[in-house]
Amino acid sequence: MNKKYQAEELISKYHQGLASPEERLLVEQWFLIDLEQSHILPSAEAVKKADQKISSNLQAHIQGQATDKKTYKLWPRIAAAAAVLLIVGLSIFFYTSYYAPRHLEGSAAMRDLLANDIKPGSNKAYLILSNGKRLSLTDAANGAIAKEAGVEITKTADGQVIYSSQPSPLSPQGGSLPGGARGSMRALNTIETPRGGQYQIRLPDGSKVWLNAASKLIYPVSFIGRGQREVTLSGEAYFEVAKDKQHPFKVKSAGQEVEVLGTHFNISSYPDEANVKTTLLEGSVSVRHLEGSAATRDLSYRRDDAKDRDDGVVLKPGQQATLQASKIKVTEVNTDYAVAWKDGSFVFNSENLESIMNQISRWYNVSVVYEDPSLKKETFFGTISKYENVSKVLNMLERTDVARFTINGNTIKITKNK
């Protein structure tokens, strides 16, 4: 994560008066809560290099709100902390994920969560072969696990599935193909992760795909002879597509089609989310809305008719396309947020509690019950490793004093803080 970028963005919004109440609270807490316990003391040189505009505006803001001498005297320490924040990349997100949970570890609320703690997810997935045979990749031994249409399927020690065949160019549709390749023309495999699972796969063309929890990818055993590379996704996945200008790579998911030649991007298309998000990290992709059932039909061996899709949009790196109710909206985003799950983190950036708990529910394989449905709209900020037990994540959210969390078996109950 680019913590320096996150910190500067948040501080900039704060001193321009554009920060939300939650963001203002985070900035003020970082600076004002327990400064005396800080173990990071800036040097004189560091203070000199601090962004003077941000420091002066933040000082004016705090002085304007100061009502006693004690708050005013804190300013030199606050300015110094701001210097460190901007120079070495400390951010409010670090404070939220590290200091606050430690600070509350001895509380009664934390002890209650620890008593019924739940461990995080891990590398778990199932591979479904073209004949319907279902293999547990968790239980399968490392090495070759199957062979279909001349393609060997291997499980590696670091939790990947790899498809390997003899090097051969992708033949045009209708071309002359070896017998094994002809047999693979209609062979489809499926890899699916359960709730509490994730997995990585290398497709027959060399493209790499990381699957998030509760996701499914359908793909051909071989792309030879298809003329294009096409897969279908349900859930969330990060793609690093092997370059091949002659054979476009297409991903169909929940009402949309993404087409690329070779690039890095993330798609989130969970059925329980209100929209589909496609985030581009590198290269270029086109995103189209698909009419009718075009997004969920089985993979075909022809190009789609024009009537099945609109003209769509073309994304540049750093952009995100959001599909909602057949409309595509493009925005500039920090791509770190979109792929945090792949890099082992939960990152909540003004995210509503319902979306946060959907992520927690899928990764920890738990059910969520809201005592008050209005809590779903509350927004939160913070980052924490997704490999922490769920108690640490819930404790971080509780620090806002908006909601309280209890764990009963495999269910998390959320109540409004009174």
CA distances from 122 to 32, 191, 199, 300 (A): 38, 15, 8, 33
Q: Phi first, then psi: what are they for 400, rounded to 5°?
A: -75, -10
Q: How far is CA 193 from CA 148, 168, 338, in A?
A: 21, 30, 19
pLDDT at residue 24 in the model: 65
Interatomic CA distance for residues 20 and 110, integer angstroms:
28
Per-residue confidence of the chain (418 residues) as pLDDT tens digits?
455 455 656 666 665 566 676 666 666 555 544 333 333 333 334 334 433 444 444 444 444 544 444 433 334 444 444 444 443 333 444 444 444 444 455 566 677 778 889 999 999 999 999 999 999 999 999 999 998 878 899 999 888 999 987 554 444 433 344 444 455 557 899 999 999 999 999 999 999 999 999 999 999 998 888 888 999 999 999 999 999 988 999 999 988 999 997 899 999 999 989 899 999 999 999 999 987 543 443 444 333 443 444 568 999 999 999 998 889 999 999 999 999 999 999 988 889 999 999 999 999 999 999 999 999 999 888 888 999 999 999 988 888 788 999 999 999 999 998 7
Tell me whether strands 229-240 and 249-253 are parallel, antiparallel or unpaired: parallel
- Tell me, which fold does domain 344-416 have in CATH? Phage tail protein beta-alpha-beta fold (3.55.50)
410 exposed, middle or buried (CB, 10 Å; 0-12, 13-18, 19+)? Answer: exposed
If phi > 0 it is left, if psi is from -120 to 50 it is alpha, else beta; for residue 196 that is left
Could you identify the residue written with the tokens 């017998």? 179
Residue 174 to residue 92: CA distance in whole angstroms = 58
- Residue 148's pLDDT is 85
Q: List, in order, residues 6 or more apart from 60 with CB less than 8 Å away.
A: none
Give residue limits of the domains in the chain.
3-90, 122-336, 344-416
Max CA distance (Å), the chain: 85
Angle, CA 135 vertex, CA 130 and CA 141 arms, to 5°: 130
pLDDT of residue 400: 79
416 CA to centre of own chain: 27
pLDDT for the residue 96: 46
Q: How far apart are CA 170 and CA 261, in angstroms?
A: 14
Give the pairing type, strands 216-220 and 208-211. unpaired
Separation of alpha carbons 149 and 185, rounded Å: 9
Kindly provide the residue ranges of all beta strands, DSSP E only, lying in 205-255, ordered along the sequence. 208-211, 216-220, 229-240, 249-253
What distance, in Å, lies between the first and last C-alpha atoms of the chain? 35
Q: How far apart are CA 406 and CA 355, in angstroms?
A: 18
CA–CA distances in Å: residue 60 to residues 55, 69, 82, 268, 339: 9, 15, 14, 42, 37
Q: Is the dihedral of CA 171, 175, 179, 183 positive or negative?
A: positive
What pLDDT shows up at residue 292?
53
CATH of 122-336, one of 2.60.40.1930, 2.60.130.10, 2.60.120.1440, 3.30.70.100: 2.60.120.1440
Whether 206 and 223 have beta carbons less than 8 Å apart is answered as no
Distinct helix (H) and strand (E) counts, the chain: 13, 24
Query: What is the per-residue pLDDT for 301?
Result: 34
Phi and psi at 7, nearest 5°, equal -65, -45
φ and ψ at 11, to 5 degrees? Answer: -65, -40
CA triple 207-210-214, angle to 5 deg: 135
User: In whole angstroms, what is the distance from residue 294 CA to residue 393 CA?
Assistant: 38
Cα–Cα–Cα angle for 356, 116, 377, nearest 5°? 20
pLDDT of amino acid 67: 45
Region of residue 339 (left: phi > 0; alpha: psi -120 to 50; beta: else): alpha
